[in-house]
């Protein structure tokens, strides 16, 4: 494949996605064959655009919080002060990843009630793990020579962290964020089973009324968002890696 083909396909996907969100009605003939004659082919219990934005907002808030906490924790356990926690935090990450998202979501409901909050908690907890794991890997595998040079040039530990360790780790941290976002985008749809406003509403409405067109449009919007965000963050990652010379 030529180099520009994937970029073109992504551009096309973005255009189609935006067109569908801004004017879902014009796609009706395409989806019509999927439904019974009298059933609506386009989701009619709310605006797809606003659900998409709410979906993205939920994922964004959860991922932002997860990134901040995960990076801070990873920094803490890689300092001499927190070294005691390093091994434990590794096993906790391993254990944490075995918790199914649905279970986390369901268990959060008794604590905080229905709506957006349990979804945010589940996405936050589930998003923490890949970011923490990647940050930890990056911070513990920095080239020894670079670290020694930084120490030798008289940098304080804090300067080393901000000017050497974090910039060098950034591409791997971004890769963790990318993984986390893709998982969260899909997991957020399950949030609608506990009454969160996400694109899951469209899918669940489709499942309940046996409307395949609803399921398809909900699923495809989330899938398209995931592909675009994944590729976007991959590009960011590559850019940072080029700039810091770690590529």
- Residues interacting with another protein, by CB under 8 A? 34, 82, 84-85, 87-88, 90-92, 94-95, 97-103, 106-107, 109-111, 182, 185-187, 189-190, 193-194, 199-200, 203-204, 206-207, 212, 215-216, 218-220, 222-223, 226-227, 230
Q: Closer to another protein by CB, 78 or 189: give it.
A: 189
Phi, psi of 42 (to 5 degrees): -115, 140
State in angstroms the smallest separation of the CB of 245 from another protein: 26
Rounded CA-CA distance 186/123 in Å is 10
State in angstroms the smallest separation of the CB of 107 from another protein: 6
Rounded CA-CA distance 134/129 in Å is 9
Instruction: Judge whether 183 and 104 are in contact, CB under 8 Å.
Output: no
What is residue 25's DSSP assignment? G
Rounded CA-CA distance 11/119 in Å is 31
Q: Closer to another protein by CB, 173 or 188: give it.
A: 188
Q: Closer to another protein by CB, 25 or 80: give it.
A: 80
State in angstroms the smallest separation of the CB of 207 from another protein: 5
State in angstroms the smallest separation of the CB of 52 from another protein: 13
Q: Closer to another protein by CB, 170 or 188: give it.
A: 188
Rounded CA-CA distance 226/233 in Å is 10
Q: Closer to another protein by CB, 168 or 237: give it.
A: 237
State in angstroms the smallest separation of the CB of 115 from another protein: 12
Instruction: Judge whether 31 and 213 are in contact, CB under 8 Å.
Output: yes
Q: Closer to another protein by CB, 170 or 225: give it.
A: 225
Show Cβ contacts of residue 1 under 8 Å, excluding neighbours closer than 6 positions.
none
For residue 97 the two structure tokens come to 């990843």
How far from chain centre, in Å, is Cα 27? 28
**Structure-token match 């974090």, residue found:** 166
State in angstroms the smallest separation of the CB of 82 from another protein: 8
């Amino acid at each position: 494949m030529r180099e520009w083909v994937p970029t073109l396909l992504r551009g096309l996907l973005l255009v189609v996605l935006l067109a569908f969100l801004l004017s879902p009605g014009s796609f009706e003939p395409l989806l019509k064959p999927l439904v019974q004659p009298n059933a609506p082919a386009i989701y009619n219990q709310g605006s797809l655009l606003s659900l998409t934005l709410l979906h993205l907002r939920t994922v964004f808030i959860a991922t932002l919080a997860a990134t901040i906490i995960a990076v801070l924790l990873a920094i803490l356990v890689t300092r001499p002060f927190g070294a005691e926690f390093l091994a434990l935090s590794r096993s906790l990450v391993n254990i944490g990843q075995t918790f199914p998202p649905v279970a986390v979501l369901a268990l959060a409901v008794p604590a905080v009630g229905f709506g957006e909050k349990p979804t945010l908690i589940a996405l936050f907890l589930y998003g923490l793990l890949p970011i923490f794991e990647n940050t930890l890997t990056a911070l513990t595998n920095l080239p020894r020579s670079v670290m020694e040079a930084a120490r030798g040039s008289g940098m304080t530990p804090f300067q080393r962290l901000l000017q050497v360790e974090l910039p060098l780790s950034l591409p791997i941290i971004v890769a963790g964020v990318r993984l986390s976002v893709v998982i969260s985008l899909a997991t957020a749809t399950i949030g609608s089973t506990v009454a969160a406003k996400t694109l899951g509403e469209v899918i669940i409405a489709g499942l309940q009324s046996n409307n395949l067109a609803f399921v398809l449009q909900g699923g495809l919007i989330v899938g398209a968002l995931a592909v675009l965000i994944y590729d976007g963050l991959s590009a960011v990652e590559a850019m940072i890696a080029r700039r810091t010379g770690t590529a």
